[in-house]
């Protein structure tokens, strides 16, 4: 499940730096969450950090992006995989 920032967002800027996956960004009017990067903090924390710091409680589960815990773990591992850099000699 990815999370979603609703129109109740007041652009307070507290959620964006809390996201360990850098999934939160400033959209045209309010902050938004990239569902391809959001793992609901699975692999990093026990609870979504953006939800914890949001002063207006405007970050529910996105009904368009429901995922199982297993899928969130798979996404976490995919996002954390390191691609080796080949250095020319």
Number of independent structural domains in the chain:
1
Mean pLDDT of 52-69: 95
Residue 87 located in a structural domain: no
Residue 85 located in a structural domain: no
Q: What is the CATH number of the domain that holds 70?
A: 3.30.70.20
Kindly give, in sequence order, each residue whose CB lies less than 8 Å from that of residue 1, ignoring residues fewer than 6 positions away: 40, 61, 62, 65, 66, 67, 72
Mean pLDDT of 45-66: 96
Are 24 and 31 in contact by the 8 Å Cβ rule? The answer is yes
Residue 4 located in a structural domain: no
Mean pLDDT of 48-73: 95
The residue range of the domain holding 20 is: 16-80
**Which tens digits make up the pLDDT trace of 6-26?**
999 999 999 999 999 999 999
Mean pLDDT of 34-38: 96
Residue 5 located in a structural domain: no
């Amino acid at each position: 499940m990815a999370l979603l920032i609703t129109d109740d967002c007041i652009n307070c800027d507290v959620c964006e730096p809390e996201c360990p996956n850098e999934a939160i960004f400033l959209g045209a009017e309010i902050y938004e969450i990239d569902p391809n990067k959001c793992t609901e903090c699975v692999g990093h924390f026990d609870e979504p950090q953006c939800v914890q710091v949001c002063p207006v409680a405007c970050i529910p589960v996105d009904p368009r992006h429901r995922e199982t815990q297993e899928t969130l773990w798979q996404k976490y591992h995919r996002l954390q995989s390191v691609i080796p850099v080949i250095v020319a000699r």
